[in-house]
Structure 1
């Protein structure tokens, strides 16, 4: 505690970072940011942009950078991204961070990632294959991929391999088998996760997507199909790309730790 207070008094850290060190979170007008989540849980805290104003999203994102060196924002649109870029450029970080933070907006995945100039991203020896059945499933798959990558895993995207033509997934099976964990995003009837889980030895996480229409549409059939899978897999909620990516990242982290022993 004394070190933190002395660093604050010397101007080496700001109030937000001091609060996060002492309390585990930082308070903003937009809410409290859980700066200790990655240390406590192994995954970075994410800012959900949905339901917040761009100004609120930007305030929480800059607090994240000030306290942890990076920000991970999900369900963000172009207006959110623009607000974050402006706020990040105005950040008054210490002299070592004279370069503006790097801001990456994946428009399709709806994610914004900000890294301070001196942020050292985690990286470990484990690969996650993020598989999407069709182009309509790519946005949710992309969110999972970005989150898993921020946890520290290597990401291999495998797109447009839906079961309407089994050759598309079969000609990628050797590639997918090389991964340590597999996330499979699929909408409509959601058959692809079950097929993939029957082809690989790695843990598979089914990510139902809210595509499809009529009876069982909006991800209902995909979710129920994954829950009834005859192949062994784990299922997350409809469109829960963050949860799938984070869970896959935690599994990959454990695999990496086992390899290091």
Structure 2
């Protein structure tokens, strides 16, 4: 329940359309509902602007089912789960016919409302095709959060002319998310070509000395381009959250 809906509920109580007992039933589990194995945070949208998202790894299918079922029963907005596999998708799909699976992004959305679209866009730029799963996680999550997203993929520095051909598109964005593995140089180059805030996402793509994304992470953290923020390795979701807040 967001702030607008709380105001509407208060108006209904004042006008007599809704009883105090009925209103209490709707809000009694704010700020969270305790399922014993999870305390589902129904106050998060009021605090942060977007509802709690279900991070699937490490949870059993029964736990995922229980959390999503509780969210379906207690909210009327969209519900998102990240890092899902086919089994998690099927489990959630059993709960709602409105379930959509974004396989490449590894994201499931119980889509009960149309995505809102902001005036400002987020451009997601990936260095290579191998980085697309992380890029798609960022792009899909940003769309669910109400942003218009432009995707520019496979424009890494090994063929920098591909990037230069897209500078005009990049500069139309409100925020740019740059996804890159290997040495992570793409973030520095993009940061030097645009006046927009750049959020860099290192990926675990690369040969041995990439150290599972650590080389890209350190390269992005030590970038000589100004105005770059860096999130954790493969954290497309975190980049989408930050970009969405900047857009708002």
**Would the TM-score normalized by the shorter structure come out above 0.5?**
yes
Q: How far 1:84 moved relative to its partner?
A: 0.1
Per the alignment, in what secondary structure is the counterpart of residue 219 of structure 1? helix
- Residue of structure 2 in register with 1:146 after alignment: 140
- CA-CA distance at 1:178 after TM superposition: 0.5
Mapped pair 1:26 → 2:20: no
SS at match of 1:239: coil
Decide whether aligned partners of structure 1 residues 245 and 67 sit closer, same or farther in structure 2, where only a CA change above 3 A counts: same
> Aligned to 2:149, what secondary structure does the other structure show?
strand
SS across alignment from 1:205: strand
Is 2:71 the counterpart of 1:54? Answer: no
Gaps in structure 2 of 5+ consecutive residues: 1-9
Q: Is the 8 A contact 1:4 1:18 kept in 2?
A: no
Look up the SS of the partner of 1:52 in the other structure: coil
The equivalent residue for 2:230 is: 235
What's the counterpart of residue 105 of structure 1? 101
Provide the residue aligned with 2:200 in structure 1.
206
Structure 1's unaligned 5+ residue stretches are: 10-14, 89-99, 254-261
TM-score normalized by the length of structure 2: 0.86
Kindly indicate whether the alpha-carbon contact (under 8 Å) linking 2:157 and 2:186 is maintained by their aligned counterparts in 1: yes
Question: Is 1:81 matched up with 2:96?
Answer: no
Equivalent runs, 1:67-216 vs 2, <5 Å:
67-68=74-75, 69-88=77-96, 100=97, 102-116=98-112, 119=113, 121-216=115-210
Give the match's secondary structure for 1:250: helix
Deviations 1:26-45 (A, max 9, x none): 23354111112122111231
Give RMSD over aligned pairs. Answer: 2.0
- TM-score calculated relative to the size of structure 1: 0.82
Aligned equivalents of 1:245, 1:62: Cα separation in 2: 25
Q: Report if aligned partners of 2:184, 2:217 keep a CA contact under 8 Å in 1.
A: yes
User: May I ask how many residue pairs the two structures share in their alignment?
Assistant: 231
